Structure formats: C-alpha cells, structure tokens
Amino acid sequence: MKKRFIGFFSTVLFGTLLLVGCGSKEADTTQEEQEQEVEAPTNEGSEQQQSSEDETIETSQSSVNEENNEVISTSFEGVSFNIPNYAEKLDLGEQQLPVDAYMLDSSTGTSFNIVLEPLAEPLSLEEYMKYATANTGFEYLSDEYYTSNDIEWNEVVSLNHTEQGTLKLNQRTFIIDNQVFIFTYASTPESYDQLLQDFNAITESVKVSN
C-alpha cells in the first residue's frame, strides 16, 4: 500500500517539476513592458506629462488587476471549480492518473495541478494522508484538516529540496466515493505567497457534482 502512495506522489512531483521547468523558459513580459516606458522629457511641461504617464500606468495596472479577478468555471472528473482567467492549461501528455495542470505565472513557474487517485479499498482521509505523506522526502511545515462547502479537506504545506532548487508545495486533498482528489500549488519559496490567494479561491470554489 505504501509503495502505491509513494508512486502517486512521485507522479504529482513530476508534474510540478515539469511545470516549473516550462515556466523558467519564458520571459517576464511585464518587466519588459515597464522598461519600455517613455523617457522623462526635459522641456517645459514635463511635470504635467509625467503626471499623465503615471495616471496611464496606474490605469493599466488597474485593468490588469480587474482582468485577473475574473474567473472561469471548469470541471475535472465530476468536480467543478473556478480558475482565474489568466491560468494557462498545459498539455502534459498521457499520464498514469487523470491530471489537469495550469500555469499561473510563467516568470516564476508558479502552477497548480489536480490529480485523481482511485482507491483500491476504502480509506478515511486520515488513513490516506498517513500513507501518502510517509517517506516522500518532503520537509513538512504544516498538516491541517478543515471543512469547506461540506467537503472535508486535508492541507499539507511542504518544502521539496531537489538538485534544481527548492519547491514549496501546498497540497489539499479530499476523498469522495473512494476517489482521492489532490490540488497541488507549487512555487519557489520566494514567490509562494504571491498567488496563494488565487489558489485559496480555487479550492474554496470546489463543488462535487451530484
């Protein structure tokens, strides 16, 4: 039983590393756009022009924030939830288990994925987590249970130290009808908090189809 769960977490880890690798290849277009701002003029009226430019930048940033606040409803193996409209769905090819993966920020590799693990025998959430977190090699920072939308969840936050660097993972798990759903948020420790609220909104919107 333990080997099976360890193999499952290896699949989740592989997907996470793949997403981070894809993200590191893309440039930070936002930074490039900021570097292309018009140079401050030295002629008369420069203060008025600079003020106008500042207002334009603020308006642009406000538009981006409003756009990022929009969500799209999606579903995965009988479970529905909302994702930010800027999330980019990635093609992972064929996997051993059903999985969907989304890039949230290509400049930092911040991503999340959803995996479905069918159970060969009934297990409580506590029993499953005991097996699933054993011998992963992760450095666990927290392990909590909570309820949202009448669904009992487990949340584990961990650090995964690899040769490529350290990843900070937030894995939220629930079981319905002997099927385990795992939502994994992955980022570098430095970027972890930047989009965590969006991941919170995703899991808070989860509903199980009747």
Per-residue pLDDT, 202? 98
Q: Does residue 182 form part of some domain?
A: yes
Any domain includes 151:
yes
pLDDT in tens, 152-190: 999 999 999 988 889 999 999 999 999 999 999 999 999
The whole-angstrom separation of Cα 161 and Cα 24 is 17
Parent domain of 142: 2-26+71-208
Q: Is 60 contained in some domain?
A: no
Strand order in the sheet with 88-90: 88-90, 99-105, 110-118, 179-187, 165-176, 151-162, 139-148
pLDDT of residue 67: 52
Residue 77 belongs to domain with CATH number: 3.40.1000.10
Q: What is the pTM of this model?
A: 0.69
Q: How confident is the model at residue 94 (pLDDT cuts 50, 70, 90)?
A: confident
Q: Decide: 116 and 180 in contact? Cβ < 8 Å.
A: yes
Q: pLDDT tens, 63-92?
A: 334 455 699 999 999 999 999 999 999 998
Number of domains the chain is built from: 1
Residue 111 falls inside a structural domain: yes
Q: How far is CA 176 from CA 28, 29, 113, 123, 155, in A?
A: 39, 41, 18, 10, 16
Residue 5, classed as helix, strand or coil, is: helix
**Is residue 42 assigned to a domain?**
no
52, part of any domain: no
What is the rounded average pLDDT of the residues 184-205?
Answer: 97
Whole-angstrom CA distances from 207 to 73, 149, 174, 185 are 11, 7, 11, 18
pLDDT single digits (tens) 23-68: 333 334 334 444 454 444 445 554 555 555 455 444 333 333 445 5
